Every structure is written in structure tokens, then in C-alpha cells.
Amino acid sequence: MSLNPPSTVRPPGLIARAKGLMFSPCAEWDRIDAEPATVGGLFVKLVLPLAAIGPLALAIDGLAFGHPGLGLVARWPVVSIVLGAVIVYILSLVMTWLLAVAIDHLAPGFCGCKNRVQAFKVAAYAGVVGWLAGAFAAVPWLAPLMLVGAGYSLFLLYRGLPRLMRAPRDQALGYTAMTAGVALAFGVLVFVVLGSVGAALSCFTGLEGGEAAAPSGVRAGTGGVDLVQLAAAARQAQQAAHSPKAAASLMLSADQLEALLPAQLDDLPRVGLSGARRSAGGYAATSAEAQYRLGGDRITLSITDLAAARA
């Protein structure tokens, strides 16, 4: 008579696990279900390294390519890029933990069994492909491929929830939809937080060199804040909200707005200038637009005065 020794088979490595989730997800979820695990072990060995891929790729993108927008490329200081990547990383970790809590909390509502470890397995392993796809963020023209990883992570969630949380298969679709809705809500919250952080960074650090580059012919600000002018602007905004006709008297004319547009932006001369005032429903706005062109380079710069807009 022989006794079978305790199993010494280790869980597959990260590459083998990713292959299994991509090419045979059902069988891989069954293996994940049977493996002993702890929340702390999953967090340290799986979530911490994988969640760093996307933020690191975003930092590489910012350092190598900048952030294009409106025909210009903004290059942030290295400190701002690193700080932004760290914030994205921390938020990714928090989102994973919150998603696991949501999966565990929602389980009874879909005839499943609450189990925090199993819920964390689902949240962590369902995100493996999405985290790996975050590497595409390092190259701007490959970044759209991250959507493929995100979509496949949603499919993995659909396959993993009924197996690990012991929910009936006919409840899998609803369970997945509810979990995805919670994840989307977390994503919106993260987007808002990142937007606020980005605005703060732009105020305190500015663009390349520590301050926003001003076009030729436009004087950069002194960096100070005139509280008296801010208070006057606030009073004008309040007046505009309650009396569009009174606010219209505060608006600049099209000629005044045109005068604010410089004759040259760096090396690009101004080749066109136009201004207009439009009104609708008792509200009015003035705008001016200038076109700058030199060879194949072209920039359009516009200014609009919405003093009479209720919003």
C-alpha cells in the first residue's frame, strides 16, 4: 500500500496563467477556483505588479511623446508625470479592492455564496488581460488596443463569477452586468479624481519648464492672484446669471476680441482674422477667430465671450 504525498504542484506562472485565461478561460477558472489563496497573497503577488503596467506605460508615453491636444503637444515636467502615474497606480489598487468587496456583497442577490477570498480571486484574475493590455498605453497609436483588453476582462468576469461565487449559470449575466455597472461607477469616480489632479498639476507645475508656454505677442501672467479682480468677476457672473440684458453690456465687442489675438504665434504668421456677435433667445455671445499658417503647420485660435450665458 502506498500513500500519495501531498501535492507540491505550484500555481502556474503569470505568463502561463495569462495564456490559460485567454485561450481556455473556463478550464483556467476551474484551476483558480481549486487553488488555495489569501487576499494578501493575491494582492502582493498579482495585483501590485500587474496594476503597475498601465501607469508605467502612461509615464513612458508622457515622457516620450507628450500629450497632444488641439494641434499642440503639451510636455509636462517629469515630477508631474511621475506623480500622475503614482496616483493612477494607487487608484487602480483601490478600485480592485472595491470591486472585490462589491462582488462579495452582491453574491447573495444572485443566489451565490459570499466569500471574500473567492471574490478577490475574481476581481484580480479577471483584470489580468486588461492590465497586460495597459502596456499599449506607452505608444499613442497602440493605445486603442487597451479597449480590447478591457472587453476581454469583462468576458472573463462573466465566466468567473458563477464558478467561483457559486452562482447559478442563469444568474451569470445579471451578476456580471451589476458588477460591471459598479466597476463603471468606480471608473467614473477615478476619472473625476484624475481630472481634478490634472487640473491641480497644471496650476502648480504647468507645462515644460515649470510654466505654460505663452505664444509670441502674448504676455505670460505674473503668477499672482488679484482677489479684488476675482471678486469683481464673481459679481459679474452672478449678474449675468440673473439678467442677460445687463450682462450683455459687460461683453467685449468683436473688435475688442480680435485685438486680443496676436499677429503671430511663434513662427506662424496670422493669415486670417474674423469676429462676430450672435444672439438667440435673449442671450448673446461675441467671438473672434484667427488662423495661423506656415507651410504645412496650421493653428486656429479662437476666443469667445459668454458673459451673457446663464451657465
Mean pLDDT of 193-222: 49
Per-residue pLDDT tens for 88-117?
Answer: 899 899 999 999 999 999 999 999 999 999
pLDDT of residue 121: 96
Contact between residue 178 and residue 106 where contact means Cβ atoms under 8 Å apart: yes
pLDDT at position 56 over 60? yes
Extents of the domains making up the chain: 14-204, 229-305
The residue count for the chain = 311
pLDDT at position 258 over 90? no
Q: How confident is the model at residue 40 (pLDDT cuts 50, 70, 90)?
A: very high
pLDDT of residue 307: 59
pLDDT of residue 250: 62
Q: How many CA atoms lie within 13 A of 102 on its CB side?
A: 21
Q: Please provide the DSSP assignment of the chain as one string.
A: --PPPPP-PPPP-HHHHHHHHHH-HHHHHHHHHHS---HHHHIIIIIHHHHTHHHHHHHHHHHHT-EEETTEEE---HHHHHHHHHHHHHHHHHHHHHHHHHHHHHGGGGT----HHHHHHHHHHHTHHHHHHGGGGGSGGGGGGHHHHHHHHHHHHHHHHHHHTT--GGGHHHHHHHHHHHHHHHHHHHHHHHHHHHHHHHHHT-STTSSPPPPTTSPPP-S---HHHHHHHHHHHHHHHH-HHHHHTTSPPHHHHHHHS-SEETTEEEEEEEEEEEEETTEEEEEEEEEEEETTEEEEEEEEE-TT---
How crowded is residue 273: how many other Cβ atoms within 10 Å of its Cβ?
A: 13
Least confident of 28-42, 196-210, 241-255, 293-307: 196-210
pLDDT at position 33 over 90? yes
Residues 269 and 259: their CA atoms lie apart, in Å, by: 15
For residues 278 and 130, the model is more confident at 130
pLDDT at position 266 over 90? no
pTM passes above 0.75: no
Q: How confident is the model at residue 309 (pLDDT cuts 50, 70, 90)?
A: very low
Mean pLDDT of 125-147: 91
